[in-house]
Amino acid sequence: MSRYDPATLEPKWQAAWDEAGTFLATRSADKPKYYVLEMFPYPSGRIHIGHVRNYTMGDVIARYKLANGFNVLHPMGFDAFGMPAENAAMASGGHPADWTYQNIDTMVAQMKPLGFGLDWTRMFATCDPEYYGQQQALFLDFLEKGLVYRKNAVVNWDPVDMTVLANEQVIDGKGWRSGAEVERRELTQWFFRISDFSGELLDALDRLDDWPAKVKLMQANWIGRSRGLQFAFGLVEPTRGHDRVEVYTTRPDTLLGASFVGISPDHPIAKELEAHDPKVAEFCALARKGGTTEEAIEKAEKLGFDTGLRVRHPFDTAWELPVYIANFILMDYGTGAIFGCPAHDQRDLDFARKYHLPVISTFVPLRGEHVTPEDGGAAYVPPKSETVRWTLPFAWDEEATGETAIEAAIAFCESKGVGHGVTKFRLRDWGLSRQRYWGCPIPVVHCADCGVVPEKKENLPVELPKDVGFDVPGNPLDRHPTWRDTPCPRCGKPAKRETDTMDTFVDSSWYFARFTAPHAATPTDMAEAAYWMNVDQYIGGIEHAILHLLYSRFFARAMQICGHLPEKSIEPFDALFTQGMVTHAIYQTRDEAGRPVYHFPEEVELRDGKAFLKDGTEAEIIPSAKMSKSKKNVVDPVNIIETYGADTARWFVLSDSPPERDVEWTAAGAEATNKHLARVHRIATDIAASTEEGSPEADEALLREMHKTIFDVTNGIESFGFNAAIAKLYAFTNTLQKSQAGSAAKRSAMKTLAQLMSPMTPHLAEEIWAMLGGAGLVANAPWPKADEAMLVSDTVTLPIQINGKRRSEITVPRDAAKEEVEKIALADDAVVKALAGGQPKKLIVVPGRIVNVVV
């Protein structure tokens, strides 16, 4: 008798699928299409158990849809540009391209043994000139349609290395290599006009029915539509060409609580003052210290500088307010200037207290204790929908909500000629310029005579030069004269290429469209895109909830405008699923200095819930941490496949934990999974050899369970409840093993079990299918259908609650009338005892669910 041996069985079936071309995506009119896509990986070097989980989920869907008669597109590629390749080149020489392509080869070799049903013929990497050349073509089309432009924006500047730093390269406000304090510096950069689509991107969220609500909420908050008042404070004394400060506020109702005006250090007035006043320049330099992230700016100490300028309050020309330059005001949002109302904004209150500015409450709660900020309380910031008592209303009732007051304030201000109501969005334009080598070159040329000139499409791709070095900081393209110097595409005179490359988010914003025609001579092939788009199911990490998904939604719109996608693809992802991470315990000891030392799971032995190193030292176990190389709590899928096989890895990452939540990888769990699969194999082998007769009752009972299992597993897969589906498969395996049914019924049940398992453990399923004489490949066999008649039984068991606590249960006919159920329930011993001869206060019967007797 053969035993379960994944090492021979898995390559055998993979070869069979390859030979049959089972997973090649083919376009045909006779079948509906289904496009399932997992977010493609960055080629870091090795695949990670988290990748296994992500791609297994996609594969379950792909295989399930194939069995349901769809033409399935399930492709794979690599998000291959980015900083790690340059870092590797800096650290150990070599070229980013070599490092990247070697990593891709390694990862493909690691992924193939997992038996994913992928169409590998469509694979590409975003660093392939064929791909990024088409991306450059897209850029030129966007440029022509006015979807790209140039403007100044701030970057992290390392004043020692004289280079731009990514946010992750700024650690505690200092450059990661130089250790120098980082400054925010302005640079001219390319931008996509995503903010022109703010309203549309926000409104369209409502139509994304199969997206998680949390993702839609995060995007809505990120886009951030706000209604407010834009108006100007007149300067008491005009200065250097400025006579007013334009501000935007979402709280015009608190105008009478204004105590100062704040402007960004990058505001035109601040810059004007900076140029002529060393003290202002000194402060602005201080205010520009630190990284560019909103987090860094929000957490930094709030600093202000009194410019000495004064503005008049729009309602009262005698009321003068000071103008401060403040480090927490962003030039990118609104007008780069605000008015501070300390009583109703904690940040403004902190600022006012620091600089001894007045605090004026304009409203208080309707009732309850309240310490006003004037008396040392916190800023009072209730939800705008809450009704409050106004101490300083100017166009509405004493009792009103913030919402009412804001609208009334805007109307009042407009009638007085003080500004106008406007709708603004928090979403900023997308800066795509990167001062780096390993990215898609921006295909424009800077000509002294013609200005910025797009490269001609026939000259695409503008390929990255190979002969570059990374021994000095900065962008090697900048110091590569033969690549940089090029004739102007328009006038032919000597000119210079743009040396900035594109943000890697650009690469990942349209790869899903490229998969529909990966080798087309244009960015997409409209016939292919029209057939395969949209992505029916997109799967990836929640960390991409905002940026990647928002940028992709923008690109789909922009590509549609340029004729590269059909109209229906304006929202490219019909359904989205965000999966959790795979975590693992960290094993940690400490060195003489008390610093932590980490150990790989393979280096420790677990005894009685404790971890020991080979030399007997006990290691501390830190449970369930996100896998990271530096903490050494990583599990290499290659080891798992070698020890247990791909099916074990696939089954384990899907079982136990719900897909949207994190899953803890444990060696014991993997071993137990392997034992279970061996058991299924053994049961199948026994059934294949058996010729026993069974009782009709046992046959019937087994088939009923089988249909229930078909129903539950199908539902589980459809609703991403893979863990629940697997629990049902365990339960059915137990039933099948214990069943006294005859061999014919058992063979039928076993074949169905193999089919139901095939999306998760495809190799074992094929083996069993073949063993029991199934026709063709189980991968192509039509998905089993549950027989509705087999799902219902004649009676149901209802729990009886007395005062909400379960006390008894009754069995009644499935279609029993409510009155009949009440009668049976009232006759129940426990109920009779509880009532003690009296009448129930209330009797609740939920048909088919529960009975609750209130006494």
Annotated binding-site positions for ATP: 629
Structure tokens at 516: 């529909």
Distances (CA, A) of 371 to 258, 345, 378: 19, 15, 8
Q: What is the 3-state secondary structure (H, E, C) of 91-155?
A: HHCCCHHHHHHHHHHHHHHHHHHHCCCCCHHHCCECCCHHHHHHHHHHHHHHHHCCCEEEEEEEE
Rounded to the nearest whole angstrom, what is the least distance from the CB of residue 84 to RNA in the complex? Answer: 6
Question: Which span (210-218, 318-326, 444-452, 810-818) binds RNA, by CB under 7 A?
Answer: 210-218
Distances (CA, A) of 646 to 30, 53, 612, 643, 668: 34, 12, 29, 9, 16
Candidates 701, 724, 772, 790; binder of RNA (CB under 7 A) is: 724
Distances (CA, A) of 254 to 258, 321, 385, 399: 7, 15, 15, 14
Rounded to the nearest whole angstrom, what is the least distance from the CB of residue 311 to RNA in the complex? Answer: 26
Q: Choose between 295 and 605: whose C-beta lies nearer to RNA.
A: 295
Binding status of residue 182 toward RNA by CB under 7 A: no
Q: Are strands 494-497 and 444-447 parallel, antiparallel or unpaired?
A: antiparallel
Structure tokens at 762: 């495809």
Helix (H) or strand (E) holding 89: helix 83-92
Binding to RNA (CB under 7 A) within 220-249 occurs at 221-222
Q: Choose between 166 and 411: whose C-beta lies nearer to RNA.
A: 166
Q: Choose between 372 and 666: whose C-beta lies nearer to RNA.
A: 666
Question: Which span (256-264, 463-471, 481-489, 725-733) binds RNA, by CB under 7 A?
Answer: 725-733
Question: Which span (360-368, 537-545, 744-752, 757-765) binds RNA, by CB under 7 A?
Answer: 537-545
Candidates 106, 548, 622, 740; binder of RNA (CB under 7 A) is: 548
Binding to RNA (CB under 7 A) within 325-364 occurs at 333, 346-347
Rounded to the nearest whole angstrom, what is the least distance from the CB of residue 625 to RNA in the complex? Answer: 7
Binding to RNA (CB under 7 A) within 659-688 occurs at 661-664, 666, 668-669, 671-672, 675-676, 678-679
Candidates 64, 283, 437, 505; binder of RNA (CB under 7 A) is: 505
Candidates 281, 546, 622, 826; binder of RNA (CB under 7 A) is: 546
Q: Choose between 214 and 785: whose C-beta lies nearer to RNA.
A: 214
Q: Rounded CA gap, 736 and 88, in Å?
A: 54
Binding status of residue 166 toward RNA by CB under 7 A: yes
Structure tokens at 538: 């997109």
Binding to RNA (CB under 7 A) within 269-298 occurs at 292-295, 298
Rounded to the nearest whole angstrom, what is the least distance from the CB of residue 633 to RNA in the complex? Answer: 13
Binding to RNA (CB under 7 A) within 132-161 occurs at 155-156
Binding to RNA (CB under 7 A) within 793-832 occurs at 797, 799, 801, 803-807, 809
Binding status of residue 54 toward RNA by CB under 7 A: no
Binding status of residue 162 toward RNA by CB under 7 A: no
Question: Which span (165-173, 414-422, 442-450, 637-645) binds RNA, by CB under 7 A?
Answer: 165-173
Q: Rounded CA gap, 199 and 674, in Å?
A: 52
Taking residues 357 to 396 in sequence order and writing x for each that binds RNA by CB under 7 A, - otherwise, the string is: ----------------------------------------
Q: What angle do CA 669, 674, 677 make, to 5 degrees?
A: 125
Binding status of residue 84 toward RNA by CB under 7 A: yes
Rounded to the nearest whole angstrom, what is the least distance from the CB of residue 484 to RNA in the complex? Answer: 18
Q: What is the 3-state secondary structure (H, E, C) of 530-592?
A: HHHCCECEEEEEHHHCCHHHHHHHHHHHHHHHCCCCCHHHHCCECEEEEECCEEEEEEEEECC
Binding status of residue 48 toward RNA by CB under 7 A: no
Q: What is the 3-state secondary structure (H, E, C) of 405-440?
A: HHHHHHHHHHHCCCCEEEEEECCCCEECEECCCCCC
In contact, 395 and 234? CB cutoff 8 Å: no
User: By rule CB under 7 A, what count of residues binds RNA?
Assistant: 94
Rounded to the nearest whole angstrom, what is the least distance from the CB of residue 222 to RNA in the complex? Answer: 7
Distances (CA, A) of 428 to 55, 195, 200, 217: 33, 6, 14, 18
Q: Choose between 307 and 497: whose C-beta lies nearer to RNA.
A: 497
Rounded to the nearest whole angstrom, what is the least distance from the CB of residue 486 to RNA in the complex? Answer: 23
Candidates 658, 686, 698, 840; binder of RNA (CB under 7 A) is: 658
Q: Are strands 33-38 and 71-73 parallel, antiparallel or unpaired?
A: parallel
Binding status of residue 590 toward RNA by CB under 7 A: no
Binding status of residue 31 toward RNA by CB under 7 A: no
Q: Rounded CA gap, 239 and 263, in Å?
A: 15
- Which residues does 158 contact at the CB level (< 8 Å), separation at least 6? 164, 165, 175, 177, 178, 180, 182, 473
Rounded to the nearest whole angstrom, what is the least distance from the CB of residue 738 to RNA in the complex? Answer: 6
Q: Choose between 418 and 757: whose C-beta lies nearer to RNA.
A: 757
Q: Is 417 left (phi over 0), alpha (psi -120 to 50) or beta?
A: left
Q: Rounded CA gap, 305 and 155, in Å?
A: 23
Task: Single out the residue of 350, 415, 414, 407 nearest to residue 379, CA to CA.
Answer: 350
Rounded to the nearest whole angstrom, what is the least distance from the CB of residue 545 to RNA in the complex? Answer: 6
Candidates 11, 377, 721, 840; binder of RNA (CB under 7 A) is: 721
Binding to RNA (CB under 7 A) within 441-480 occurs at none
Task: Single out the residue of 581, 532, 724 nearest to residue 32, CA to CA.
Answer: 532
Rounded to the nearest whole angstrom, what is the least distance from the CB of residue 634 to RNA in the complex? Answer: 15
Rounded to the nearest whole angstrom, what is the least distance from the CB of residue 608 to RNA in the complex? Answer: 8
Rounded to the nearest whole angstrom, what is the least distance from the CB of residue 213 to RNA in the complex? Answer: 7
Cα-trace Rg, the chain: 33
Q: Rounded CA gap, 435 and 426, in Å?
A: 26
